[in-house]
Every structure is written in structure tokens, then in C-alpha cells.
Amino acid sequence: MEDKVSVIIPVYNTGKEAVKLILSIAKGNYKNLELILVDDGSTDDSLKLLKEFARQYKLKFKGKKVPEIKVFEKENGGVSTARNLGLEKATGKYISFTDSDDFVDKDFYKKLVEAIKKYENLKSRDLKIALAVSGVHYKRLGTKHEKDIYVNAIKGRAPDETFKEYVLRVMYTDGRLYAVSNKLFRADIIKHFSIRFDESMSFAEDTKFTLEYLSAANRVHYKQIEYVLEPLYHYNFGTPTSIVGDSSLSWGNWLKSYDDFEKFIGKKRSKRAEKYLRRIYLRWKISHALAVARSNQSFGHKTQHVGLPKLILAELIIKFRR
């Protein structure tokens, strides 16, 4: 029998997109799904649409093996508050976070469950999978640019490399661990350690959640990450909920995110961990500069945000627009 997966889907004025997402998930190859839709105080008719759709869906598929739909509502508080409510309501063995204006491949949940259960029967917990991660199909709606990302293999953990060092290495070399949407988490770890999204953050809250989850998994000897090297999650960049916001333009926000890495690794650090942290800091500096370069700010404001010479910033902007 399939293990239940709770799929948490925040909705804010994206009711129509959420319905399309649900219909695509229902056609997928994994049926034991609990679809938890959390309306985050939508100002349009999204909540009404979701409730009516859930009612008709239940009547149409009564007695049939299809994903279950649950609709919850709350006052507007942001995506983290919606996800946290979803975590409180989840009853599945595994947790997945899916954005309402994206969609997933028909094998997304099936293959991630298979991946996270890969070493389920082994006695050593150190070999068990803490997290399953898929590749992503990235689509920029404005320019119609599309590409598959995170489908390349990652060098495995070296015998003398700790799990936390390994996580830092993956974080500075690759971006697939940053977001929560292309992953499958273990619900028991989340619940036991009361892991939640930081509702005070409007930037990199996904990364902080993932780091706290992996830190907790490490404590209970789940020290492996399994990668499904296929673009099973389809991320649409350029929707109203995915446009780069002002929060990414502040270097202070990037510094707060970097602090989460320092907290993750702890005060007693190896030379290797210090080296990885330096590289993450450099990556954050470059990523911040790129975020500013692709924003709609005036050129003068962009130079103020990043503190770079105008010629270097101009080169970044040209490179990004290619």
C-alpha cells in the first residue's frame, strides 16, 4: 500500500491555477495524496472556487482511489503562515510543498517516495534518506526561455566529510537545496522537532527551513540525500507570486540568510566547513548582485544596492538579459 503524502499548497488569488494543479496531480501515478489547500486571505473569489471545486470533486470521485482534497482558510499573513497551517493539518508520512502556480510531472510524487524509501530496510540509520530532491524544469514566462536544471549528478559525501559539511558543499556549488518545492520531507522529523517556517522572514525562508530540517535529520541519524535527476517539478518564473521582490534587493536580507548557514554548522567548525562558508558568502554576494541587476530598479538605484562599480554592474545586467 502506498504511504500517504501530504501536499501543502498555499493559495493567494490563484484559485484557478490551483484547480489546474489539482487536476494534473489527480492524473498522476501516485494516488495516496492529501492535498492541503490553504487560502491565505485571497481578495478575489479563490476561496469560494476552491470550496466548490472540492465539493464537486468529492461527489464525482466518491469511493474511487483519488487524491483527497482539504481546504483551509486564514487571514492573509504570507506564504510561510500558510505553509505552517498546512503542517499543522498534515497527516501523511511524507510532506511536499507545491506552489499553486507551478505544476508537477505525473511521476513526481511516485519517484520521490521511491527515492526517500531507497534504504528503508537497512539497519543502519546513517544510510537512510533524510530528503528526496528532484530536478526542475524552469520556465521564464516573460521571455519563454525554458531549461532543465538540477539534473546533473552531485559528487557524493567523502568518507571524512561530515553530513553538515556535505550540505554546505552542495549549497555553495548548486541551488537545488534552496527551495522546498522540489523535495519530499519526512513528516515525523518535522513534527518531532517542531520545525516551522520563520513567519518574520520574507526572503530565503525556504532555505532556512531546509537547513533546520537537515540539522534535525542529522541528529536522528538520517544522513543521506537522494537525488532524482529528472526535471519533475515545473517552476514558472514570472507569475505574480514568483517575480523577484524587493526583499531580494536588500543585502541585509542576504546576510540574515548567511547567518542561518553559520547557525547550521555550529560554533565548532572544521577548516573545511570554514572554507565552505566563505564560498557560500561569495555566492550570496554574486547572487545578490544578479538579483539587483535583473530588477526593475533604475540603474542608479541598482548601483546603490550592490555597491559595485557601474561598469561591472552593467556587465551583469547585459549577461543576465542574454
pLDDT (0 to 100) of residue 126: 65
pLDDT in the model for residue 243? 43
In the three-class reduction of DSSP (H, G, I as helix; E, B as strand; rest coil), residue 241 is classed as coil
pLDDT of residue 270: 96
8 A C-beta contact, residue 138 and residue 149: yes
Rounded to whole angstroms, the Cα distance separating 166 from 176 reads: 14
Q: What is the dihedral of CA 110, 113, 118, 120, to 10 degrees?
A: -140
Residue 240 confidence (pLDDT): 57
Pairing of strands 33-40, 68-74: parallel
Q: Which amino acid is at 50?
A: L
Which pLDDT belongs to residue 1? 78
Contact residues for 257 (Cβ-Cβ < 8 A; gap 6+): 203, 204, 207, 208, 284
- All residue ranges of the chain with pLDDT < 70 are 124-126, 141-143, 238-245, 296-322
pLDDT at 247: 84
Q: Which domains are delineated in the chain?
A: 5-243 (3.90.550.10), 247-321 (no CATH)
Which pLDDT belongs to residue 125?
64
The pairing of beta strand 224-237 with beta strand 103-104: antiparallel
DSSP H helices, the chain, are 15-26, 46-60, 79-89, 108-116, 163-173, 187-192, 205-219, 251-265, 271-293, 299-306, 310-321
